[in-house]
Amino acid sequence: MSGLLALLDDVAAIAKVAAASVDDIAAAAAKAGAKAAGVVIDDAAVTPKYVHGFAAERELPIIWRIAKGSLKNKLVVLLPALLALNYFAPVVITPLLMLGGAYLCFEGAEKLLHAFAPHADADVAADHNTGDAAHLEEEKIAGAIKTDFILSAEIMTIALATIPDGALWLEALTLAIVGTLITVAVYGAVALIVKMDDIGLHMAANRRTAPARAFGRGLVLAMPRVMTFLSVVGTAAMLWVGGNIVVHGLEVTHIWAWPYTTIHHMADLAAAAIPAAAGFTAWVVTAFFDGIIGVILGAALIPVVTKGIVPLWRMVLGKAL
């Protein structure tokens, strides 16, 4: 009997430890998700542009494939890689993130080049112009997953930095929860955004009341403008997030702290001038100057990538980058 009681006492103790661990994981996941919220918003803004222009019946399948790729990025590639780097070589995490930030700057600058000088980048356009809808869809999905990888790396790195040092399994489980919940939230929101016009059509055709039908027609009329706006926001997000990653990395690695300190000084001055909206003002100023740096860096990288890296990649591997 005493042995059974001792066993029950051990089980109760284990249950208490498990319950405490669950609480720790939940708290850490919530804190990490809040810290990464800015990048999450950028991720949600970037993604809808990848389904813009496709037939309505292809929108959800494309989003689903991108979401699966995003989950693979976070759980299969980034989670073990970041934990290993954090343990064995934490010093390389920031430089790798800076490379990712530079890639986002290049992507954003390339989109600007397409928008404002559509004939100036004929070589770049030729690389992507296949005339095959199925091939174009594959390219769009691959491009979205590549961009998601950079944003996911930033999200997971922010989350990892927020998690208190502890058992490796606790850090891994917290990162897995954060990555999964963020992916569901981002791509659930994206799916809702891109299908809003279909919801509007359904409401306009099937609702019994006039106000409901009018609301549905309003959704249908508004969504093309909303999608265009999100495409613009997505491009801007690439530039300011990429610029921010590079600027912050230069400061953290002590390579060149001047851009970071100067931008934050200007943001503090602007916030002090508008105390009623100090936080928002500081964010706007910081994002603006990070975006300017993103445009400059991205524009400088376009010839490097299109005239140097892409031809070299094709020569070595025999396929497009």
pLDDT confidence bin for 43, thresholds 50/70/90: low
Which of 86-100, 130-144, 150-164, 217-231 has the highest mean predicted lDDT (pLDDT)? Answer: 86-100
Taking CA 48 as the corner, what is the angle to CA 43 and CA 143, rounded to the nearest 5 degrees? 75
CB atoms within 10 A of CB 100: 23
Residue 189, judged by CB atoms within 10 A of its CB (0-12, 13-18, 19+), counts as middle
Q: Can you tell me the mean pLDDT for 185-209?
A: 82
Residue 173 is predicted with a pLDDT of 86
Share of the chain above pLDDT 70, in %: 75
Residues 108-139 pLDDT 10s? 898 888 888 765 544 444 444 445 677 888 88
Q: Can you tell me the mean pLDDT for 178-190?
A: 85
Q: Does 171 have pLDDT greater than 50?
A: yes
Q: At what angle do helices 93-116 and 133-162 cross, to 10 degrees?
A: 140
Instruction: Give Cα 268 to chain centroid, integer Å.
Output: 26
Residue 127 is predicted with a pLDDT of 46
Q: Are 86 and 160 within 8 A, CB to CB?
A: yes
Q: Which of 196, 186, 177, 230 is nearest to 68 (CA)?
A: 186
